[in-house]
Chain A
């Protein structure tokens, strides 16, 4: 049993806003849902399944379903942070394959920019019943410094340099210049990145993603309904999900859960990493991209620094065009959760609807992969492989 070929993404919508002080979070969710339905050519009454994660206000899917007044026969609210929405596509495909739903809506939205959230550097009070909190929260594992430890270890173990990490931001900026909605549209150089202020050693300000308001939505449906619509066919071909933690103290920062979710997704899709024409790789920080490229098998472990250098991630220049919307590093990281925008840009590429300056020619196989939670302590990874029919 497999989801390969059992479901299609027919609607994908990224909210154009990057700052929305005048909108509620629920409103942003609904606007994204409306946008994805219009993209698919479906209506509100066609939806019979709904999936959201922790960014949705209220209890799981209940409050948002009531706000949008949706009557569904399937719901899910798996929350593994920013990668949730990549896993949601797989969960939607499973529900569709089992006949539990036929049109599944997935939404994400949030306003960390308007709310002044210091996403990367603020200490958060520990909830004493979260099992790691009595041992860690007071030590200030923010976000930037936990990813900083991953980068520091990668440099120590494999000789990776700040200049190599900077190439990831440089590539993202080359793509973002063509995206009219991107927060950061200026092309930057390796020097710009390594000369930007240090946030948490060895990660500089330009190694970090943006903080943006906004959101996105996806519509996943059955092969029969997908073929009845007028949109290019984007098939769900394979998926994997995996948690990674501290292994009871056997901490190993040299890989993420992607090392497990990736091979599962490739096996289900029946393809190899070298078959992928375009990759959306979660980019909360430059190190996140570098490590996940290794985990996905695009290069040998430890060789990520060399792989990402010299523009190898720039569309039209390198071997692995990535995050052609500018990614979280330059375009958008709505609700501090970049998973849904990873799927959306992969869908654009497969449809041939990316910006002409970054569109990958004959893009028939794409990957979307993400890490939710913290790369250096505990997280949930999700991989999705999509194919244009």
Chain B
């Protein structure tokens, strides 16, 4: 698993504040100021009601919804359902043979090729 390096993230103006906060160790999600629902991936316009959204710091706790290790490539893709509700596509770090759907997870930052901290997950 050690050989796999996460590439530097593609960036646009909607994502830049997330990675700026990540550099301070904060895992941020967005929530609608109108309907109050949290969503993922973060958007400026609420995907539920088209209202305005704002950043909030999330707990960094979640559970595995599904996952699939590509052992030869050395990484495990996963959907993690956040404590706040939404489910995010991500990578799980650690032994893929020790994982199961429903398992409790916590955020575990991994440096990308350019050093950007990436929101990956590990067993809680």
Tell me if A171 is interfacial: C-beta within 8 Å of chain B. no
Q: List the B side residues contacting A116 at CB < 8 Å.
A: none
Chain A, Cβ-Cβ closest to B73: A121
Tell me if B9 is interfacial: C-beta within 8 Å of chain A. yes
Q: Give the shortest distance, in Å, between A204 (CB) and chain B (any CB).
A: 12
Tell me if A129 is interfacial: C-beta within 8 Å of chain B. yes
Q: List the A side residues contacting B38 at CB < 8 Å.
A: 249
Q: Give 1 or 0 for each of A290-320: 1 = CB within 8 Å of chain B CB.
A: 0000000000000000000000000000000
Tell me if B42 is interfacial: C-beta within 8 Å of chain A. yes
Q: List the A side residues contacting B42 at CB < 8 Å.
A: 135
Q: List the B side residues contacting A198 at CB < 8 Å.
A: 71
Tell me if A17 is interfacial: C-beta within 8 Å of chain B. no
A134 touches B12 (CB 8 A): yes
A144 touches B66 (CB 8 A): no
Tell me if A58 is interfacial: C-beta within 8 Å of chain B. no
Q: List the A side residues contacting B104 at CB < 8 Å.
A: none
Which of the candidate stretches A65-73, A86-94, A149-157 sits at the interface with the other chain? A149-157
B71 touches A249 (CB 8 A): no
Query: Per a CB cutoff under 8 Å, which of B10, B47, B118 touches A126?
Result: B10
Tell me if B88 is interfacial: C-beta within 8 Å of chain A. yes
Chain B, Cβ-Cβ closest to A249: B86
Chain B, Cβ-Cβ closest to A130: B10
Provide the bound-state CA to CA distance between A134 and B38, in Å: 18
B10 touches A248 (CB 8 A): no
A152 touches B112 (CB 8 A): no
Tell me if B34 is interfacial: C-beta within 8 Å of chain A. no
Query: Per a CB cutoff under 8 Å, which of A132, A146, A153 touches B77?
Result: A146
Most buried by B among A123, A151, A246: A246
Given A152-B101, A250-B86, is A140 in contact with B91 using a C-beta cutoff of 8 Å?
Answer: yes
Provide the bound-state CA to CA distance between A353 and B71, in Å: 44
Tell me if B108 is interfacial: C-beta within 8 Å of chain A. no
Tell me if A201 is interfacial: C-beta within 8 Å of chain B. yes
A248 touches B112 (CB 8 A): no
Nearest 3 CB-CB pairings of A with B: A249-B86, A148-B68, A126-B10
Please list the residues of chain B having a beta carbon within 8 angstroms of any beta carbon in chain A.
6-12, 14-15, 37-43, 47-48, 65-73, 75, 77-79, 81-82, 85-91, 96, 101-102, 112, 118
7 new A-B contacts, CB < 8 A, other than A156-B102, A249-B85, are: A140-B91, A199-B70, A200-B77, A201-B68, A246-B41, A248-B37, A376-B66
**Listed A/B pairs (27) with beta-carbon separation below 8 Å:** A121-B72, A121-B73, A125-B7, A130-B10, A131-B14, A131-B43, A138-B6, A138-B9, A138-B10, A139-B75, A139-B90, A139-B118, A142-B73, A145-B68, A148-B70, A149-B68, A149-B77, A149-B78, A201-B70, A201-B71, A246-B87, A247-B47, A248-B47, A249-B38, A249-B87, A249-B88, A251-B65
